[in-house]
Amino acid sequence: MPGTWYSARFVMDQPDNPDRILVDELDFTTRPFTKVPRAGDDPDSDEHRDLLLHDQWRHPRERHELPAWHPSLADAGA
């Protein structure tokens, strides 16, 4: 799914520790700000909503490419 929002986990390999490996996980379908919430963090806050709306404005995707939770789907002007 296209977009610049995603949940990610990244572990960097350490040359002095061969048992440590490079791991990356990208999740484009889980709603951001919900997977590992910070204390007091509200995924429905205006700050998060505005961030996602601004991202959609800067990097537009077609409505059918957006996940159901994306706030721009609720906006008539999107």
Look at residue 78 in the predicted model and tell me its pLDDT.
Answer: 43
Look at residue 21 in the predicted model and tell me its pLDDT.
Answer: 64
Per the structure, the complete domain to which residue 38 belongs is given by 7-73
70, 60 Cβ separation under 8 angstroms: no
Mean pLDDT of 37-41: 59
Mean pLDDT of 16-36: 67
pLDDT above 70: residue 53: yes
Residue 47 lies in a domain: yes
66, 5 Cβ separation under 8 angstroms: no
In terms of pLDDT, which residue wins out, 50 or 28?
50
Number of domains composing the chain: 1
pTM over 0.85: no
In terms of pLDDT, which residue wins out, 46 or 42?
46
27, 6 Cβ separation under 8 angstroms: yes
| Secondary structure of the chain in HEC code, one letter for each residue | CCCCCCEEEEECCECCECCCCCEEEEECCCCCCCCCCCCCCCCCCHHHHHHHHHHHHHCCCCHHHCCCCCHHHCCCCC
Residue 1 lies in a domain: no
